Chain A
Amino acid sequence: MKINVTGLQAWFGEHQVVKGIDLAIPSRQITAIIGPSGCGKSTFLRCLNRMHELVPGARSKGRVLLDDTDIYASDVDPVLVRRWVGMVFQKANPFPSMSIRDNVLAGLKLTHRYDRTDAPAVVERSLRQAALWDEVKDKLGEPGTSLSGGQQQRLCIARALAVNPDIILLDEPCSALDPIATARIEELLLELRRDYTLVIVTHNMGQAQRVAERTAFFLQGELVELDDTATLFSHPRDQRTADYLAGRFG
């Protein structure tokens, strides 16, 4: 499923953080969004599954087409959007009151799509897709929080995959993890792009180069440049992009 963003703006109260962005995200690829802190990349991401507006006082408007459906149309129920667009957060947040197995199934239970006979198959499939199955298959009944940081994040990915979204948004998913755990997740993302469209926000430029086909550079709420990753990093067209990549500001 591809995403087509036109004229997206977002505010926190009176303060505008996303100032009109047009961006096309191709299907079954990884698109990375990079930029300095506060440039609006996380806010932009949260607009793609209509989670931005859950914050009191927050507003967003524009057009975001998932294939041909505008998720900002007036009669759209935002909760339904999130069945197609999954999200993985910066800090792993498995549900502490649930076991590993129940965590994976949580999305289905929350959306009334839980089928008891299918459940074990769903659990195994999702955990395999998240490259976690071998490590937890013997302890599915243990609490979700008993795993290490990297494993918890993969559990959250499995949880997101279990509801079968077409798109997965990742908001700096490795920023709280050590390099080894990060590498495992990056490997995982490269596998996942065969079946899903992935958008990843990252402040780690190496990560963008390692996993993403396309990269967008945001600055102060605007899209400055969008290109194939290799091209963006080697021959940026905009001076601001070049300055950021060279580390002249962070």
Chain B
Amino acid sequence: MSEAAADAALPATRRGTRSRAPSGRAARWHERLIELGLAGAGFTSILVTIGIAGVLIYESAGFFREVSLAEFFGETEWTPLFADNRHFGVWALVSATLTTTALAMLVAVPLGLLAAIYLSEYAAPRTRKIVKPALELLAGVPTIVFGYFALTVVTPTLQPWVPGLSGGNMLAAGLVMGFMIVPMIASLSEDAIYAVPQSLREASSGLGGGKLETIRRVVVPSAWSGIAAAMTLAVSRAIGETMIVAIAAGSQSNFSFDPREPGQTMTGYIVDISKGETPTGSLEYQTIFAVGLLLFVMTLVMNVISHRLSRRLRAQTRA
């Protein structure tokens, strides 16, 4: 019987189904191939991870053949582009990164945590529906916009109040970075607080605790691992932030923790030197990767800590 005749012999609803499915062994190969293809797609993420580590290590190796680790981590002057009297002390960059990060956390942690408490414990459902997406909006603004804001609005606003504030300064950049990070802390902390079982709140009420005491002594301590995970992740984000500091923090690399001064962070340096013309393979070119490697390691450590903390939260709330 030919295909067409066999097909015509089927009831109307099943016509055309015979020819569509690949038959027998061909079908299995077909499936296997597709599965391998999809697995390959999944595998790319592993490849990318290896790629990042590989590129950073490979190029940094070249750098560290020329510059000793002692100088890199020991000195506080960073002047790789000078013709003579070159210094490679990364602390100049790290100090700026730490200063801006600290300022950012100073803003983001209290605001974020309070916002999280407000959203999960006090806000009416209708308010929540407006405030939560609004905070998400804040998170969606591209960082270059924040950089512009820090440079053209925040710095001039602060200048009458902060004596000695230079045009490019770490204070404005750090503060604006903090506002950018608030939604992240708020959202993750809110999840952690939401995960605290209702029975604990009941126990606290039953003992005569009012709402503030319950939040302060029971809810927040119980959610602590999740909140700490959120904060660690936020630190990681602040360390890796580039455009806000590149635009608003100035590009002078000094070893300084004074927020009124300009500062070049690790990320700011990488952008600055990439803007110019650096020949491949030169020492200047390799500094990008050395600093990048340090940056990568720092954020990786923060991310791992954060992951462990949120795992502890999940284990705790299940118990």
Contact = CB atoms under 8 A, between A and B. Distances in A.
- A and B directly contacting (CB within 8 A): yes
A110 B209 contact: yes
A106 B217 CA distance: 8
A103 to B, nearest CB: 9
Interface residues of A, number: 28
B205 A95 contact: no
Given A96-B319, A110-B213, A145-B319, A163 B207 contact: yes
A154 to B, nearest CB: 14
A202 B181 CA distance: 51
Q: Per DSSP, are chain B's interface residues mostly helix, strand or loop, or mixed?
A: helix
Contacts of B221: 95, 97-98
Interface stretch (A59-67, A84-92, A115-123, A193-201): A84-92
Nearest to B199: A93
Contacts of B202: 51, 54, 89, 93
Interface in B195-254: 197, 199-200, 202-210, 213-214, 217-218, 221-222, 224
B127 to A, nearest CB: 15
A79 B208 contact: yes
Nearest to A54: B205
B203 A111 contact: no
B200 A93 contact: yes
Contact of B222 (A97, A106, A111): A97
B60 to A, nearest CB: 43
Given A110-B214, A110-B217, A95 B209 contact: no
A160 B209 contact: no
B206 A87 contact: yes
B300 to A, nearest CB: 29
B210 A89 contact: no
Closest 9 CB pairs of A and B: A110-B209, A107-B207, A97-B221, A87-B206, A82-B208, A93-B199, A83-B208, A93-B203, A110-B213
